Amino acid sequence: MNAGNDLRVSAVRSYWDTHTLGLQYASDPTLEPGSAEFFAHIRPWMNPYKFPWIMRRIECEAALLAGKHLLEVGCGMGFDSLEFLKRGVRVTATDLTENAARLARRHFELEGVNAECVQVENALALSFPDATFDAVWANGVLHHTGDARRAVQEVRRVLKPGGRAIISHFYRRPSWMWTLHRLGREPIEAHEEDAPVSEFYTDDEVLGFFTGFEIVEAVREHHRALPVAKRGAKAALYRWGFRPAYNLLPEPLALKWAYKLSVTAIRR
């Protein structure tokens, strides 16, 4: 990677090192991050529980992958990996930051599950040999890396032929969140500051990243505006104005403006 890319990765790393996904949902400051009480407290806000379609996807994929080896890229505190581990999938969980890896390790330990390995990895330059994994899972990660195409091709490299890439999700444009993000000049979700890189792509751009794959499913998600934990005037406008009005849209129209696109693809 060149010097510009190195700088970008280090900005992304330093943001996520202090903003591990989940910390922003802790409304009780007395809870120690990494304690059982802490994980229980933030759990309802975390991806597989907040968005029911992700849990359904985990259940379907885990049924196909039991006993096989899955790599999670950008695991954060490990909530998704935990669900795969509970369902008998062998998991290597990775994240760009040591803080995330430490919290994920702690989380698995508290839950009494064993990952193959939990380690720091950059999605843009994975350290694993070619054709190592049966599946790769990345949830809410690749649009934060600064080079989603390269990340998808790294996923392809470490997958065995016939292996499954399950990438939930890419941020879409146009979409309701893309418009709110531009109008409000800050994300409406719970972060106090935005990640240094959050890219929105057209559906065609996303599908174009998957060269060398057969796409099994590309599905628009998050087409209804859901509750946010954020407080303040913009969040109140969202909660009492935008959200109820937007959610009156008929399904086909709402789907057109869905926030996310998730892709499942098989490595050729």
Ligand X SMILES: C[S@@+](CC[C@H](N)C(=O)[O-])C[C@H]1O[C@@H](n2cnc3c(N)ncnc32)[C@H](O)[C@@H]1O
Q: Which is nearer to ligand X, 34 or 256 (CB)?
A: 34
139: its two tokens: 């949830």
Min dist. Cβ of residue 144 to ligand X (A)? 4
Min dist. Cβ of residue 200 to ligand X (A)? 14
* 6 contact partners, CB below 8 Å, separation of at least 6: none
List interacting residues with ligand X (CB under 6 A): 12, 16, 21, 46-47, 73-76, 79-80, 95-97, 100, 122-124, 139-141, 144-145
Min dist. Cβ of residue 128 to ligand X (A)? 13
Min dist. Cβ of residue 241 to ligand X (A)? 26
Min dist. Cβ of residue 137 to ligand X (A)? 8
- Residue 102 burial (10 A CB sphere; 0-12, 13-18, 19+): middle
Please tell me the chain's helix, strand, coil percentages from 3-state DSSP, rounded to the nearest 5: 45, 20, 35
Q: By three-state DSSP, how is residue 118 classified?
A: strand
Q: Which is nearer to ligand X, 50 or 256 (CB)?
A: 50
Q: Which is nearer to ligand X, 128 or 256 (CB)?
A: 128
What residue has token string 């054709």? 131
As a whole number of angstroms, the distance between CA 51 and CA 48 comes to: 6
Q: Which is nearer to ligand X, 61 or 80 (CB)?
A: 80
Beta bridge partners of 92: 71, 117
As a whole number of angstroms, the distance between CA 49 and CA 39 comes to: 13
Name the closest residue to ligand X (Cβ).
76
Min dist. Cβ of residue 145 to ligand X (A)? 4
As a whole number of angstroms, the distance between CA 206 and CA 171 comes to: 9
Q: Which is nearer to ligand X, 73 or 165 (CB)?
A: 73
The end-to-end CA distance of the chain, in Å, is 26
Min dist. Cβ of residue 102 to ligand X (A)? 12
Q: Which is nearer to ligand X, 136 or 180 (CB)?
A: 136
Q: Which is nearer to ligand X, 82 or 258 (CB)?
A: 82
